[in-house]
Structure 1
Amino acid sequence: MRLPKFTAIIFAALASVQVAAQPMERVPDRSEGEGPFPVLIISGANMIEGSGAPPTGPVDIVVEGNRITAIHGGSAPDEVRARAGRIVDAQGMTVLPGFVDTHGHNGDTGKASQPAYGYKLWLAHGVTSVRGLSFYWGPDQPDLSDTRRSAANTITAPRLFPYAAMGDKWEGGAIDSEAQARAWVRWAKAQGYWGIKFFNSLEPAILEAALDEAEQQGLGTVAHLAQPGVQRVNARKAVELGMDGITHFYGHFESLLDNNALPRYPQGYNYSDEQSRFGWVARLADQVVEPGSEEWDEYIDFLVESDVTLSPTFNIYSASRDVMAAKNRDWHARYTLPSLMDFYAPSATNHGSYYKDWSTEDEVAWRKFYRYWFDLTAEFHRRGGRVTAGSDPGYIYQTWGFAYIGELEMLREAGLSPLEVVRAATVAGAREIYEPRGEAPPMGTIQVGKLADLVIVPGNPLDNLKLLYGTGHTRLNYDSGEIEQVGGVRWTIKDGIVYDAPALLEDVAQMVEAQKAAR
Structure 2
Amino acid sequence: MKTASILLAAFALAVGPSAAAQDGMEPVPARQTAEGEGPFGKLVIRGANVIEGSGAPPAGPVDIVVEGNRITGLFPGAAPESATRGAAREIDARGMFVLPGFVDVHGHNGDPDKAPQPSYGYKLWLAHGVTTVRGVSFYFGPGTPDLSDAARSNANTIVAPRLIPYAVFGDKWTGGNPDTPTKAREWVRWAKAQGYWGIKFFNDATPEVFKAALDEAETQKMGTVAHLAQTGVAEVTAHKAVELGLDGVTHFYGHFESLLKDGRLVRYPPNYNYFDEQSRFGWVARLADQTVEPGSDEWNDYVDFLVASGVTLSPTFNIYSASRDVMRARSFDWHAKYTLPSLMDYYAPSATNHGSYYKDWSTEDEVAWRNFYQKWFALMRDFHHKGGRITAGSDPGYIYQTWGFAYIGELEMLREAGLTPLEVIRAATLDGARELYAARGEEPPMGRIAVGKLADLVIVPENPLANLKVLYGTGHTRMNRETGAVEQVGGVRWTIKDGVVYDAHQLLADVAAMVEAQEAKR
Category of TM-score, reference length = shorter chain:
over 0.9
Q: Corresponding residue for 2:8?
A: 7
Q: Corresponding residue for 1:146?
A: 149
Q: Does 1:170 align with 2:173?
A: yes
Deviation per CA, 1:396-423: give whole Å up to 9, x if none: 0000000000000000000000000000
Alignment of 1:340-379 (within 5 A): 340-379=343-382
CA distance in 2, matches of 1:18, 1:484: 45
- SS across alignment from 1:39: strand
Q: Corresponding residue for 1:260?
A: 263
Is the 1:15–1:137 contact (alpha carbons within 8 Å) kept by the matching residues of 2?
A: no
Q: Corresponding residue for 2:468?
A: 465
Is the 1:443–1:453 contact (alpha carbons within 8 Å) kept by the matching residues of 2?
A: yes
| Cα offset, 1:22, TM superposition | 6.8
Q: Corresponding residue for 2:478?
A: 475
- SS across alignment from 2:201: strand
Amino acid at match of 1:9: A
Which region of structure 1 is more displaced relative to structure 2, 140-149 or 268-277?
140-149
Is the 1:61–1:70 contact (alpha carbons within 8 Å) kept by the matching residues of 2?
A: yes
Q: Corresponding residue for 2:506?
A: 503
CA distance in 2, matches of 1:376, 1:518: 47
- SS across alignment from 1:71: strand
Amino acid at match of 2:203: N
Is the 2:480–2:487 contact (alpha carbons within 8 Å) kept by the matching residues of 1?
A: yes
Deviation per CA, 1:210-263: give whole Å up to 9, x if none: 000000000000010000100000000000000000000000000000012111
Q: Does 1:49 align with 2:77?
A: no
Alignment of 1:504-519 (within 5 A): 504-519=507-522
Name stretches of at least 5 consecutive residues in structure 1 with no aligned partner.
none
- SS across alignment from 1:44: strand
CA distance in 1, matches of 2:320, 2:359: 15
Q: Number of aligned pairs?
A: 519
CA distance in 2, matches of 1:150, 1:406: 25
Alignment of 1:87-98 (within 5 A): 87-98=90-101
Q: Does 1:305 align with 2:308?
A: yes
Name stretches of at least 5 consecutive residues in structure 2 with no aligned partner.
none
Q: Corresponding residue for 2:457?
A: 454
Q: Does 1:27 align with 2:35?
A: no
| Cα offset, 1:379, TM superposition | 0.7
Amino acid at match of 2:154: A
Which region of structure 1 is more displaced relative to structure 2, 331-340 or 105-114?
105-114
Q: What's the TM-score, normalizing by structure 1? A: 0.99
Q: Corresponding residue for 1:190?
A: 193
Q: In the alignment, which of 311, 314, 317 is matched to residue 314 of structure 1?
A: 317
Which region of structure 1 is more displaced relative to structure 2, 432-441 or 19-28?
19-28
| Cα offset, 1:9, TM superposition | 2.2
- SS across alignment from 2:138: coil
Is the 2:108–2:136 contact (alpha carbons within 8 Å) kept by the matching residues of 1?
A: yes
Q: Residues 141 and 112 from structure 1, CA distance in 2 versus in 1: closer, same or farther, beyond 3 angstroms?
A: farther
Q: Residues 20 and 28 from structure 1, CA distance in 2 versus in 1: closer, same or farther, beyond 3 angstroms?
A: closer
Q: Residues 87 and 452 from structure 1, CA distance in 2 versus in 1: closer, same or farther, beyond 3 angstroms?
A: same
CA RMSD of aligned residues (A): 1.0
Is the 1:21–1:110 contact (alpha carbons within 8 Å) kept by the matching residues of 2?
A: no
Is the 1:18–1:110 contact (alpha carbons within 8 Å) kept by the matching residues of 2?
A: no
| Cα offset, 1:476, TM superposition | 0.8
- SS across alignment from 1:187: helix
Is the 2:123–2:507 contact (alpha carbons within 8 Å) kept by the matching residues of 1?
A: yes
Q: Residues 327 and 292 from structure 1, CA distance in 2 versus in 1: closer, same or farther, beyond 3 angstroms?
A: same
Amino acid at match of 2:263: N
- SS across alignment from 1:175: coil
Percent identity (aligned): 72
Q: Does 1:207 align with 2:246?
A: no
Deviation per CA, 1:284-329: give whole Å up to 9, x if none: 0100000000000000000000000000000000000000000100
Q: Does 1:434 align with 2:437?
A: yes
Is the 1:18–1:108 contact (alpha carbons within 8 Å) kept by the matching residues of 2?
A: no
| Cα offset, 1:479, TM superposition | 1.6
CA distance in 1, matches of 2:149, 2:510: 19
Amino acid at match of 2:255: H
CA distance in 2, matches of 1:382, 1:14: 32
Amino acid at match of 2:348: A
Q: Residues 196 and 301 from structure 1, CA distance in 2 versus in 1: closer, same or farther, beyond 3 angstroms?
A: same
Alignment of 1:103-122 (within 5 A): 103-122=106-125
Q: In the alignment, which of 223, 227, 230 is matched to residue 230 of structure 2?
A: 227
- SS across alignment from 1:227: coil
Deviation per CA, 1:487-506: give whole Å up to 9, x if none: 00000000111000000000
Q: Corresponding residue for 2:284?
A: 281
CA distance in 2, matches of 1:117, 1:277: 30
Q: Does 1:157 align with 2:173?
A: no
CA distance in 2, matches of 1:78, 1:508: 39
